Amino acid sequence: MRGPFWKLRHRFGIAAPRVEIHSQIPWYLRWAGIALLLGISALSAAWIYDAGRRFAGFDQSEVREQLIRVKGELDAARAELERLRAIANAADSRVSIERTAQQELAQQIRTLEQDNARIREELATFESMLSSDARSGQVLSVYRFKVEPDVLPGEYRYHLLLVTPSARREREFNGRLELVVNLQDAGRNVMMSFPQPADAGAGAFKLAFKYFRRVEGTFRVSPKAKVESVQVRVYENGSTQPRATQSVAL
């Protein structure tokens, strides 16, 4: 038989029925509270992080100022570099211009020296002609006939001076010039004449002068050929026999 004590233990003891307590706070207020708590936690963490960096000697605002200052110095250095490059380019241009001017001046000096030597040589030739005069009976004389290799392979430059004797200086000499070249090509002796038939009317080989005439020009043979001698022949218009000849060996 169960007594009152058993009823009391059954009501308030371990075997007592469970009691559930339901909260009356709405769900959106609970989420708002959680979000507020998280925000406060984030702000606290950021403040603690920033305070820790300042305590350790790292200030973000100071670093930002230093970064701005370094960028400004970099921009100034770049501008100075461009300015120095412009000055260097201008200096290089001036040096190049001065070097070109010096080269042109040196070339002009060499040309003037060559002209001066040629004039002195011609003067000596004229003095020799005046002292001995040209031989009577000759239509003209050939002086200073020279043939030299030119810049290009197989190309030769020639120059000579033609002078009429005093007995012929009242009228003009009209004629033409011919070069006869003796050479070896591929083991064979070959003779070539200039101007060639295709260039028979070349103006460089025509002559028309009264006292004297300086003649110069170039002719070209095979680069593999070896020129042994060159003879110049001067013809007067209407004559098939040369009025003057002279040969030079190379």
- Residue 201, pLDDT > 80, answer no
CB 166 within 8 A of CB 159: no
The predicted model gives 67-96 an average pLDDT of 84
- Residue 147, pLDDT > 90, answer yes
- Enter the DSSP assignment of 17: P
What pLDDT is attached to residue 134?
A: 47
| Burial state string for 53-74 with b = 16 or more CB within 10 A and e = fewer than 16 | eeeeeeeeeeeeeeeeeeeeee
The maximal CA–CA distance of the chain, rounded, in angstroms, is: 186
What pLDDT is attached to residue 13?
A: 54
Return the H-helix or E-strand segment holding 94.
helix 60-132
More confident residue, 22 or 75: 75
What pLDDT is attached to residue 11?
A: 56
Check whether the bond before 195 is cis (ω within 30° of 0): yes
Please give the structure tokens belonging to residue 208.
């028309």
**To the nearest 10°, the Cα dihedral for 20, 24, 28, 32?**
-90
What pLDDT is attached to residue 65?
A: 78
Three-class SS state of 165 = coil
Three-class SS state of 153 = coil
- Residue 90, pLDDT > 80, answer yes
pTM of whole model > 0.75? no
Please give the structure tokens belonging to residue 28.
């959106």
- Residue 233, pLDDT > 90, answer yes
Three-class SS state of 157 = strand
| Burial state string for 216-245 with b = 16 or more CB within 10 A and e = fewer than 16 | ebebebeeebebeebbbbbbbeeeeebbbe
- Residue 18, pLDDT > 90, answer no
- Residue 217, pLDDT > 80, answer yes
What pLDDT is attached to residue 191?
A: 93
Do the bridges between strand 206-209 and strand 188-194 make them parallel or antiparallel, or are there none, so unpaired? Answer: unpaired
